[in-house]
Structure 1
Amino acid sequence: MNNEKRVKNTRGRTVSSKRWLERQLNDPYVAQAKQKGYRSRAAFKLKELDEKFRLLRRGGRILDLGAAPGGWSQVARERVGDDGKVVGADILEMEPIPGVEFLHLDMLAEEAPGLIKAALGGEADLVLTDMAAPTTGHRATDHIRTLALFEAALDLAIEVLRPGGGFVGKVFQGGATGDVLNTVKKHFSDVKHVKPPASRKESVELYLVALGFKGRKE
């Protein structure tokens, strides 16, 4: 059955679910993800960010926060190789990925930094997060809620990164601004907002890439 027929056979669906299905059926990244065995099309966003900024190095220690379903962890594992270490952490359960250690934890928990560094075998070279709050349809609200997740991930990254390390996180609308952006610039020497090609054109998501971690201030 071709895609056109499959869309026509969706009577009874809501308008929003029909639009989502049409996007999925016509999205080349969805097809590529299925073909290559990635758990989500988001894997290609990380691949594109890595190609631009050389984030994932052989032998690196990588933390993927909010890792489920695992697309970013899969790409990280491919890039760092057998000599590297990838730890995925999420409050949600995640199906195992070969070569990836998964921690079922709340990143706000007091013990989280210690558990993560123990799993990594040291400080992280790179902390990643593709987390976003469930959307409400109200852009300002979605931005605030996702920015809160970004801030929590940033705070944890500051606790577990090695000097010189990097942080990549998702934001919405105008990106990280105000006090949040000032905090990022205080701790990292190179900060950029980027929209990778794999992000849908209609999406308001951006990724903040922060490199050159300056170390924790005592």
Structure 2
Amino acid sequence: MAKDDTGRLHVTVKTGGKRKLSSKLWLERQLNDPYVAKAKREGYRSRAAYKLKEMDDKYKLLKPGMAVIDLGAAPGGWSQIAARKVGSAEGKGKVVAIDLLEMPEIPGVAFAQLDFLAEDALHRLREMLGGGADMVMSDMAPNTTGHRTTDQLRILGLVEDAAAFACEVLKPGGSFLAKVFQSGADAALLAQLKRDFTTVRHVKPAASRQDSSERYLLATGFRRASAVL
């Protein structure tokens, strides 16, 4: 263990045995990530909770009484932030989380183990919410292949599907937030979102690792004529 350039203690993971270099580097990054440590101290299920918290602090996305859908929610960091912000544990708002994986219970969050692209998903989520959503958010990302162009296209397809879903369930004035990778291939998606929303922007919160191409697409002010009432 040694100190890094900022004076913080830096944990070094030894190689050897069956551990691959990629696994060593991932583990070392996790052990030295201040947001990972902070999440453990403050009871959040993932460091991703701070990404949503920062974006909400800046853009005031989540308000008491809102109805929120969290796509690809597991392990639940974003759902935890949303539940606290909208007051769903106190009955003021609603948060519905959906994922292909199981997710342990979170106070104030209704969970469905479901593919959001399934034929009955939209109907089930509307029933769980009791109507339309004020916000649809997604921190989903497909499994990476290591081929940058392929990975960018795969996440773009996922975001396009999530955006189409959001446009089916959002109330007028609602918001859509989704993870993307930095790429020039999203012009068509941006054009569509700009037709359906008042404001569309890219956001990179401080909690997002600076060496990552990850950023977030934020669309606010849903205005499509077929918006859910």
Determine the structure 2 residue equivalent to 1:85.
94
**Counterparts in 2 of 1:6 and 1:190: CA distance versus 1, 3 Å:** closer
For residue 68 of structure 2, what is the aligned residue in structure 1? Answer: 62
Contact 1:126–1:161 under 8 Å retained in 2: yes
Distance 1:199 1:51 in 2: 15
TM-score by length of 2: 0.89
- Provide the secondary structure at the position in 2 that maps to 1:32: helix
Question: In structure 2, do the counterparts of structure 1 residues 125 and 140 end up closer, same or farther at CA, with 3 Å as the change threshold?
Answer: same
Cα separation, partners in 2 of 1:99 and 1:175, compared to 1, 3 Å: farther
Secondary structure at the counterpart of residue 209 of structure 1: strand
Aligned partner of 2:6 in structure 1 is: none
Task: Indicate the residue corresponding to 2:42 in structure 1.
Answer: 36
Report if the CA contact (8 A) 2:11-2:32 is conserved.
Answer: no
Match of 1:135 among 129, 133, 144: 144
Residue 16 (structure 2) pairs with residue 11 (structure 1): yes
* Matched AA of 1:23: R
| Structure 1 gap ranges (5+) | none
1:118 aligned onto 2:127: yes
Superposed, 1:42-191 pairs within 5 Å as: 42-81=48-87, 82=90, 83-174=92-183, 177-191=186-200
CA distance in 1, matches of 2:10, 2:149: 37
* Contact 2:13-2:27 within 8 A present in 1 as well: no
SS of the aligned residue for 1:7 comes to coil
CA distance in 2, matches of 1:193, 1:78: 25
Greater CA drift, 21-30 or 103-112: 103-112
Give aligned-pair identity as a percent: 56
TM superposition shift of 1:116: 0.8
SS at match of 2:218: strand
Looking at structure 2, the residues matched to 145 and 84 of structure 1 have their Cα atoms a distance apart, in angstroms, of 33
Distance in 2 separating the partners of 1:32 and 1:57: 24
- Mapped partners of 1:51, 1:110: distance in 2: 35
Cα drift, residue 199 of structure 1: 0.5
Secondary structure at the counterpart of residue 202 of structure 2:
strand
Number of equivalences: 218
Give, in angstroms, the shift of residue 217 of structure 1.
4.0
Inter-CA distance 22–110: structure 2 relative to 1 (3 Å threshold): same
Shift of 1:174: 2.3
Q: What is the TM-score of this pair, normalised by structure 1? A: 0.94
Taking the aligned partners of 2:185 and 2:171, their CA distance within structure 1 comes to 23
Tell me how far apart the structure 2 counterparts of residues 177 and 188 of structure 1 sit (CA, whole Å).
16
Counterpart of 1:213 in structure 2 is 222
| Deviation, structure 1 residue 105 | 1.2
Separation of aligned partners in 1, 2:33 and 2:127 = 39
Cα distance in structure 2, aligned partners of 1:209 and 1:57: 16
Are 1:196 and 2:201 matched, yes or no? no
